[in-house]
C-alpha cells in the first residue's frame, strides 16, 4: 500500500438484515452454551420480508426453542410491525441433531498441558489478526469511526432524538493518510433509513445527524472533520422501507465491519454462529490478541498475525508476523517472541479466554452482542482478546 492514500470503511446498525442474521445466529450459540457449556453448535440464518430461515447443527444436552430465540432478537431491534413483525413472521428451521457424544468431553480449564495437546481442531483454515496505532483501541481509524457512527445512530434512534429513524442504517468514513498515518477526514456518508410515510425534511435530518451522531463521535478525536470534509446524508434520497421489508440478509456477509474494514486482511469465514470449538472463529480472536499486544508493547505501529490450522493438529501449522516496515525490531524477532509467549492451541485459546462460560456470565448473552458492538476493537464490552496483558513479556 502507498504511504499516501485515501481509505474508506463502512458499518451497519443492528437492524440491517445481514447484521440481524449475525445476531440471531450468535443468540442461538449463546442460548445453547448458557444451558450446556459443552455444546457444539453451528447456526446460520437468512431472512427476507416476514420470513426467517434458520439452519443449525448441534450436539447438546440442552433443549432450545430456536424460533423463540430468533423472535426475541427481532423484537429487540424494534422494527415497525409493518416492516417486520417478530410475533407473526414465519420462522423456518432446518435442524440436524448430532449424538450427545459429539459434545465437548472436558472443560479445558481443568486439563493438563499434555491433555490439551490431544484437543485438535476439527476444521481447517487460515485466520488473520491486525492492530495499528491509529486509535486507542489499536484499530484502523476508518472502520473504528464507521462503527462508532453506527452505534451513535442506534443510540439516537432509541432516545428518539431523530424522528422516524429506522433500525437499518449504514455509515461510511473516508480517511486521508500521509506517510501511513491518518491526517484528515475526507468524507462521511450516512444512509439513514426512515420509517413511516411522512417525509422528513433533508436539511433538518442532516442537522440532527450532525448534532446527535457525528459531533459526539468526533469529540476528542485527534483527526477531525474540517471545512472541506464532505458529509453526505441519503445522497440518493431516503429509502421508503427499511430492514427485511427492503432487502434480504444472511449470516457472515459483514465480515469486513466485523474486523478491520478491509484495511487489513480478514479471515473470510463468518465469525458469528459458531461455538468456541471452531478455530475459524476463535483463531481470529487469538490472532487479534497477539497483534494488539505487539503494537501496544511498542514493537511496531502496525502488526498482522497469520495463523494456519489443519485438521488433526492442536495448534497452528504455521505462524507469520508482518509489521509492514513499521517494526522497531525485525518481523522474525517478533515472531520468535510471539511463539514463546502465546499458546495458540485450540484448547488453550478456549481456556485462556474462558470462551465456553462467558455466555452464562452474561444474562443477556455474550456472543450475540458482538455483531452490533464489534468483534474487534470493541470499546463497549470487556473482551478477553482485547486485553494488552503481555506487554512486559514481549518487551
- β-strand partners of 176: 6, 184
Please say whether the structural domain 17-104 has been given the CATH code 3.40.50.1010.
Answer: no
| The three cell numbers locating residue 345 | 492451541
Q: Number of C-alpha atoms within 13 angstroms, CB side, residue 74? A: 31
At the topology level of CATH, where does 5-12+141-250 sit? GMP Synthetase; Chain A, domain 3 (3.30.300)
Local structure of 300: helix, strand or coil: strand
| Whether domain 125-134+256-394 has CATH 3.30.300.10 | yes
Look at the block and give the residue holding cell 448441534.
58
Equal fold, 5-12+141-250 vs 125-134+256-394: yes
Question: What gap in Å lies between CA 32 and CA 30, rounded to an integer?
Answer: 6
C-alpha span between 47 and 182 (Å, rounded): 38
Task: Extract the runs of DSSP E, i.e. beta strands, from the chain.
Answer: 5-12, 40-48, 51-59, 90-97, 125-132, 165-178, 181-194, 230-233, 249-250, 302-309, 318-322
Determine the pLDDT at residue 239: 72
Please list the pLDDT of the chain residue by residue as tens digits (395 residues).
Answer: 578 999 999 999 999 999 999 999 999 999 999 999 999 999 999 999 999 999 999 999 999 999 999 999 999 999 988 889 999 999 999 999 999 899 998 899 999 999 999 999 999 999 999 999 999 999 999 999 999 999 999 999 999 999 889 999 999 999 999 999 999 999 999 999 888 767 788 899 999 999 999 999 999 999 999 999 999 999 988 776 778 988 999 999 999 999 999 999 998 899 999 999 999 999 999 999 999 999 999 999 999 999 999 999 999 999 999 999 999 999 999 999 999 999 999 999 999 999 999 999 998 999 999 999 999 998 788 999 999 999 999 99
Nearest CA-CA partner of 175 in 136, 218, 207: 218
Q: What is the pTM of this model?
A: 0.96
Which position has the grid cell 448534532?
211
Q: How many residues does the chain have?
A: 395
Domain boundaries of the chain, sorted by first residue: 5-12+141-250, 17-104, 125-134+256-394
Amino acid at each position: 500500500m502507498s504511504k499516501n492514500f485515501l481509505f474508506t470503511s463502512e458499518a451497519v446498525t443492528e437492524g440491517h438484515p445481514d447484521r440481524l442474521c449475525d445476531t440471531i445466529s450468535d443468540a442461538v450459540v449463546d442460548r445453547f452454551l448458557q444451558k450446556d457449556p459443552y455444546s457444539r453448535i453451528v447456526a446460520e440464518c437468512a431472512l427476507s420480508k416476514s420470513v426467517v430461515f434458520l439452519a443449525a447443527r448441534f450436539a447438546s444436552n440442552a433443549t432450545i426453542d430456536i424460533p423463540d430465540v430468533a423472535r426475541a432478537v427481532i423484537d429487540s431491534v424494534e422494527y415497525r410491525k409493518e416492516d417486520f413483525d417478530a410475533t407473526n413472521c414465519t420462522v423456518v428451521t432446518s435442524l440436524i441433531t448430532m449424538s450427545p457424544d459429539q459434545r465437548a468431553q472436558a472443560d479445558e480449564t481443568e486439563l493438563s498441558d499434555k491433555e490439551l495437546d490431544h484437543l485438535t481442531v476439527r476444521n481447517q483454515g487460515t485466520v488473520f489478526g491486525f492492530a495499528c496505532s491509529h486509535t486507542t483501541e489499536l484499530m484502523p481509524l476508518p472502520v473504528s469511526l464507521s462503527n462508532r457512527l453506527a452505534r451513535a445512530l442506534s443510540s439516537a434512534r432509541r432516545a428518539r432524538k431523530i424522528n422516524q429513524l429506522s433500525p437499518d442504517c449504514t455509515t461510511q468514513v473516508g480517511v486521508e493518510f500521509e506517510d501511513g498515518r491518518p491526517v484528515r477526514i475526507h468524507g462521511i456518508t450516512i444512509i439513514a433509513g426512515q420509517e413511516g410515510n411522512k417525509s422528513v425534511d433533508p436539511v433538518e435530518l442532516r442537522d440532527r445527524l450532525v448534532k446527535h451522531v457525528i459531533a459526539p463521535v468526533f469529540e476528542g478525536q485527534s483527526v477531525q472533520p474540517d471545512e472541506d470534509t464532505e458529509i453526505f446524508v441519503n445522497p440518493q434520497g431516503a429509502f421508503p422501507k427499511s430492514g427485511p421489508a427492503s432487502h434480504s440478509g444472511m449470516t457472515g456477509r459483514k465480515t469486513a465491519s466485523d474486523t478491520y474494514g478491509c484495511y487489513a486482511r480478514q479471515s473470510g469465514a463468518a465469525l458469528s454462529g459458531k461455538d468456541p470449538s471452531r478455530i475459524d472463529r476463535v483463531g481470529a480472536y487469538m490472532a487479534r490478541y497477539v497483534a494488539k499486544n505487539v503494537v501496544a508493547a511498542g514493537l511496531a505501529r502496525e502488526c498482522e498475525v497469520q495463523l494456519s490450522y489443519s485438521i488433526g493438529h492442536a495448534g497452528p501449522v504455521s505462524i507469520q508476523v508482518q509489521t509492514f516496515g513499521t517494526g522497531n525490531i525485525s518481523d522474525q524477532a517478533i515472531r520468535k517472541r510471539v511463539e514463546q509467549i502465546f499458546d495458540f492451541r485450540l484448547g488453550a485459546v478456549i481456556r485462556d479466554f474462558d470462551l465456553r462460560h462467558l455466555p452464562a456470565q452474561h444474562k443477556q448473552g455474550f456472543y450475540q452482542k458482538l455483531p452490533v458492538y464489534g468483534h474487534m476493537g470493541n470499546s463497549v464490552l470487556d473482551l478477553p482478546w482485547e486485553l494488552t496483558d503481555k506487554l512486559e513479556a514481549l518487551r
